[in-house]
Amino acid sequence: LEYYGKALVIHKAGATVGEGQTYHNMACMYQTQGNFVLALEFYNKGLAIKRDKLGENHSEVAMTLANIGLLHQAQNRPAKALRCLRQAHAIFLGHLGPQHPHTQNCSRALQSLL
């Protein structure tokens, strides 16, 4: 986490896709550590930057949405998980196709909730 913090300092000159990805990566670390509150906060920061810089329908946006969905699933919030995973799946399907591993992983996560 120390190095991600240093990366954020570098990115702070202006919100960049790199800053959004750094927030995403930090969220993954917090999630792995079981700190779901900070993980969600950092995923949302990264998501906002990615949406702003890449648009709503970019695969990087979908990746963060999928991770937020999985975080909600881990916290037994199925409605929130479904909403995020459905958005992510639609983006993955449209940009990467049905055979891409990201699309397939998202499909499996959705099926586990239904």
Q: Which of 59, 76, 74 lies closest to 24 in space, CA to CA?
A: 59
pLDDT of residue 7: 52
89 vs 75: CA distance, rounded Å: 20
pLDDT of residue 77: 96
pLDDT of residue 106: 96
- Does the pLDDT at position 89 exceed 90? yes
Rounded to two decimals, what is the model's pTM?
0.85
pLDDT of residue 15: 64
- Does the pLDDT at position 24 exceed 60? yes
| pLDDT tens per residue, range 64-87 | 999 999 999 999 999 999 999 999
86 vs 30: CA distance, rounded Å: 24
Q: Which of 24, 19, 21 lies closest to 9 in space, CA to CA?
A: 19
